Amino acid sequence: MARKMGVYAVLAFVLYGLFFYWYLFQFADPKLPFEYEGTNADPATFLNGRELSLSEEYSKIRNLLFFLSTPLEWLIYFLILLFGLSKAFKRWAEDSVKHKLLHTPIYLFWLSLFAFIAVLPLSYISYSLSKTYHISTQSFPSWMKDELIDFWLNYATWLIIVPVLYWLMRKSQKRWWLYLWILSVPFTLFMMFIQPVIIDPLYNDFYPLKNKALETKILTLADKAHIPAEHVFEVNMSVETNAMNAYVSGIGSNARIVLWDTTLNKLSDEQILFIMAHEMGHYVEKHIYWGIAGYLLLSLFGLYLTYRLMNWAVARFGKELKISDTKDIRSLPLFYMIISMLLFASSPLSNFVSRYQETRADTYAIEMTKNPDAAITSFQELTRNGLSQVNPPMLVKIFRYTHPPMLDRISKLEEYEVKHRTE
């Protein structure tokens, strides 16, 4: 039975992959709606023929890799359970040391290492793709270093969560999901607080903006928005990518507005001021805090569903999955798989909310700067340097896009420009 379930799972993954290949490469029509042709949102007006071709090629392959990556994780965890690897990891942990306190860290290490190695080829393909299309400038050793940092950070995080999770399961088999959620609230806030000052610097170097004249202009905008900012930070992303970005991270006194140095190198001061006003819009409208609240609410519902689904799966397929009880550490791959599935299923909702917030930030930025030309050209440059699709297929927009497509963003800026030109 286990072998048959494994075959069905692999077959389902293959059929799923073929569907998205057909959808992205055959079905989805990249043609721009005729009413947008010739406008500033039309990529043909600001990209040359080669850039247009590369953008379509790169986006299709990148989108396919996105839709394959998460279900591949589900398949890996499912096969780990079916073929008894989770049971083997537990046995190796128990045979390695006598102290019970060390069994969970050792088991977690083997599970994490196996999953890391299993998904590494797809991660390398994604890295290689970005190198081929000149998005990434990162060397292989640097990329591998980041992958290893990811591995150890994830391992350290789960090393805190997993022992607590299974202790709660043993203490309260019916309410562990609620107690875990309660504990996750301060943990989430703590992680977001330390991210800008401890986690992010593990990957890149951050320092105050070196262009002091530009910093003065940005701080003047911040003062106008009643934001108590003292510094704007830049990060040396040019060693890794040609793409551009700016963002707000952290909460409370550790919140930071960050500019990639690629953005500083490729955009004018007016364009950068629009982007900074956009980030200030997030701060003024407290999008970070709304995002935290939404995440915590979804995680409460998600943990409850995880509890119900784990109990159902063990009761129905416990023998095939080599799990006798949910509170057995061998059920951890099942926990990972269900959590990942629920996150994927909820992404359309979370992305929709994020796109709404980004639209609000765009509106705030253009009202503050009143420079639609700088705003439009900055979005055009972001599209060119990231080889982004201006008008992505519907499923890509729903599952991938945390920002509105550039077609929507540039069109709204054009509407603003026309409206205020006639006033």
SS3 at position 41: coil
Q: Which of 240, 279, 328, 408 is catalytic?
A: 279
Residue 423 has pLDDT above 70, yes or no: no
In the chain, what is the straight-line distance between the N-terminal and C-terminal CA atoms, in Å? 72
**How far is CA 195 from each of CA 36, 175, 233, 249, 251, rounded to the nearest angstrom?**
41, 30, 14, 8, 9
Is 99 annotated as contributing to ligand binding? no
Edge to edge, what strands does the sheet with 246-249 contain? Answer: 206-208, 233-235, 256-260, 246-249
* d(C-alpha 349, C-alpha 346), whole Å: 6
Residue 320 has pLDDT above 60, yes or no: yes
Q: Which of 261, 328, 362, 408 is catalytic?
A: 362
Confidence of residue 422 (pLDDT cuts 50, 70, 90): low
Go through 272-281 and write b for each residue having 16 or more CB atoms within 10 A of its CB, e for each that does not. Answer: bbbbbbbbbb
Q: Is there a catalytic annotation at residue 279?
A: yes
Residues 367-385: pLDDT tens digits?
999 999 999 999 999 999 8
Q: Are 361 and 282 in contact (CB under 8 A)?
A: yes
* d(C-alpha 135, C-alpha 130), whole Å: 5
Is 226 annotated as contributing to ligand binding? no
Confidence of residue 313 (pLDDT cuts 50, 70, 90): very high
The DSSP 8-state label assigned to residue 246 in this structure reads: E
pLDDT at residue 197 in the model: 75
Confidence of residue 410 (pLDDT cuts 50, 70, 90): very high
Residues 213-262: pLDDT tens digits?
888 888 888 888 777 767 788 988 888 888 888 877 766 666 677 889 89
Confidence of residue 191 (pLDDT cuts 50, 70, 90): confident
Is 287 annotated as contributing to ligand binding? no
The DSSP 8-state label assigned to residue 98 in this structure reads: S
Ramachandran sector of residue 202 (left: φ over 0; alpha: ψ -120 to 50; beta: rest): alpha
pLDDT at residue 254 in the model: 65
- List the structure tokens of 113: 């290492």
In sign, the C-alpha dihedral spanning 234, 237, 242, 247 is: negative
SS3 at position 259: strand
Residues 139-152: pLDDT tens digits?
999 999 999 999 99
pLDDT at residue 286 in the model: 87
Nearest to 379 by CA among 366, 395, 396: 366
Residues 99-148: pLDDT tens digits?
888 999 999 999 999 999 999 999 999 999 999 998 999 999 999 999 99
pLDDT at residue 6 in the model: 86
